[in-house]
Amino acid sequence: MENIEEMANYCLNCKLKPCSEKGCPIKTQIPEFISEIKNNNLKKAYNILQENNICSHICSIICPQEEQCEGSCIRGIKSYPTHIGLLEKYVNEWAEKEGYNYKINIEKSVGKKVAIIGSGPAGIECGFELLKNGYEVDIYEKDSIPGGILIYGIPDFRLSKNYVEEVINKLEEMGAKFITNKELGKDFSLKEISEKYDAVFLGIGAPKSSRYSLYEKELKNIYDSDVFLKAYNENKFLKNLGTVVVIGGGNVAMDSARVAVKMGAEKVKILYRRDRKHMPAREIELDDAIKDGVEFKELIRVVSANEINRKY
Ligand code: SF4
């Protein structure tokens, strides 16, 4: 498909809109915003997207559209689906280029204050909905920069930190207060915070990696992906990596492998128990990892981390 106009016109504007109702976890008004692209009204398309999702630009870059909205698109039954992700990205890039902003409407104050623990995607979207509906919001973050996994988990070559900063700024403009370097269970308890606010939302994510049951305790130089990715995102590059082996075939595995390349590893290999076409990572992530020189070792079941260390 050549251009945006063609992409937009390909959408059938379905009444039941399965792309939105079934495929999108936050019910983006997909046919509606695409209709505005068809009408050449990009301002309205942007407004529709922003009104529903303050992270629209970020979602257009990192959402697994092929499993979600595009995976539910009617067009995909007989042919390829509407390129919803690309259209959403196009509208956001247009607004960025034009310096166009949309001021979100905020309801009259309801006189209630909510504490949100965690400033990752869940905390951001929860804060956004509450602010729109007239609540006061304080967002607590254990690290020094708000954004959670968007800052510390996803590498900047996949998602520019500027887009996250932009979202945080917008929330602040709407009235949110970010309180950083404050961790639940360390700097305050749930009881303390519950007493101070009308409600508490826990958006702490799943910060601990699941441990590989075959790790030998004494083995050195094994990193959980969250620790490894955080080191990269904080510019704390690990030195003399040599050959790096990444176990797994999902998006986080691809990020980790590409981060190892950027940190200067001599070789990076992904070991996966099935073949490449069954890897859960997005096609685009696989392609980028290949472009970065990552090697794939398929049909390998890891039975001993010690053995891996000897082999690679
Ligand atoms: S299902 Fe596909 S064709 Fe129908 S409205 Fe959604 S994006 Fe357009």
% of the chain at pLDDT higher than 70? 95
Please determine, for residue 212, whether its predicted confidence score (pLDDT) is greater than 70: no
Mutate to test the pocket of ligand 1, among 16, 21, 30 (most ligand atoms within 8 A of CB): 30
Please determine, for residue 211, whether its predicted confidence score (pLDDT) is greater than 70: no
Q: Where in the chain is the domain with CATH 1.10.1060.10?
A: 4-98
Q: At what angle do helices 225-233 and 251-262 cross, to 10 degrees?
A: 50
**CA distance readout (Å), 169 to 55, 127, 163, 166, 178:** 12, 13, 10, 5, 10
Answer whether 13 contacts ligand 1 (Cβ < 6 A): yes
For residue 139, which of 167, 103, 101 has the smallest C-alpha distance?
A: 167
> Which atom of ligand 1 is nearest to 74's Cα?
1
| Order of strands across the sheet that contains 243-247 | 243-247, 267-271, 295-297
Q: Which CATH number fits domain 4-98: 1.20.1250.20, 1.10.3720.10, 3.40.50.720, 1.10.1060.10?
A: 1.10.1060.10
Q: Is the whole model's pTM more than 0.85, yes or no?
A: yes
Answer whether 75 contacts ligand 1 (Cβ < 6 A): yes
- Helix and strand totals (H; E) in the chain: 15, 7
Mean pLDDT of the chain: 93
Mutate to test the pocket of ligand 1, among 13, 35, 49, 77 (most ligand atoms within 8 A of CB): 13
**Would you state the pLDDT for residue 201?**
98
Please determine, for residue 215, whether its predicted confidence score (pLDDT) is greater than 70: no
Please determine, for residue 102, whether its predicted confidence score (pLDDT) is greater than 70: yes
Please determine, for residue 2, whether its predicted confidence score (pLDDT) is greater than 70: no
Answer whether 21 contacts ligand 1 (Cβ < 6 A): no
72/154 Cα distance (integer angstroms): 26
Q: Quick check: helix, strand or coil at residue 259?
A: helix
Amino acid, res. 311 = K
**Would you state the pLDDT for residue 195?**
97
> Which atom of ligand 1 is nearest to 10's Cα?
3
**Would you state the pLDDT for residue 219?**
62
Q: How confident is the model at residue 231 (pLDDT cuts 50, 70, 90)?
A: very high
35/158 Cα distance (integer angstroms): 29
Helix (H) or strand (E) holding 296: strand 295-297
Name, in order, each residue with C-beta under 8 angstroms of 287's C-beta and a sequence gap of 6 or more.
none
Q: Which CATH number fits domain 113-202: 3.30.70.260, 3.30.465.10, 3.50.50.60, 3.30.590.20?
A: 3.50.50.60
**Would you state the pLDDT for residue 224?**
86
**Torsion sign over Cα 131, 84, 233, 247:** positive
**Would you state the pLDDT for residue 71?**
97
User: How does pLDDT run across 3-55, given as a tens digit for each residue?
Assistant: 999 999 999 999 999 999 999 999 999 999 999 999 999 999 999 999 999 99
Bridge-based pairing of strands 177-179 and 136-140 is parallel
177/174 Cα distance (integer angstroms): 9
89/95 Cα distance (integer angstroms): 10
Answer whether 18 contacts ligand 1 (Cβ < 6 A): yes
182/141 Cα distance (integer angstroms): 6
83/70 Cα distance (integer angstroms): 7
**Would you state the pLDDT for residue 68?**
96
Q: Provide the CATH topology of domain 225-311.
A: FAD/NAD(P)-binding domain (3.50.50)
**CA distance readout (Å), 218 to 123, 209, 210, 244, 308:** 37, 18, 18, 18, 14
Answer whether 16 contacts ligand 1 (Cβ < 6 A): no
Q: Where in the chain is the domain with CATH 3.50.50.60?
A: 113-202, 225-311
Answer whether 86 contacts ligand 1 (Cβ < 6 A): no
DSSP assignment letter at 198: S
Mutate to test the pocket of ligand 1, among 32, 38, 73 (most ligand atoms within 8 A of CB): 73
Please determine, for residue 192, whether its predicted confidence score (pLDDT) is greater than 70: yes
Q: What is the residue with the minimal CA distance to atom 4 of ligand 1?
A: 14
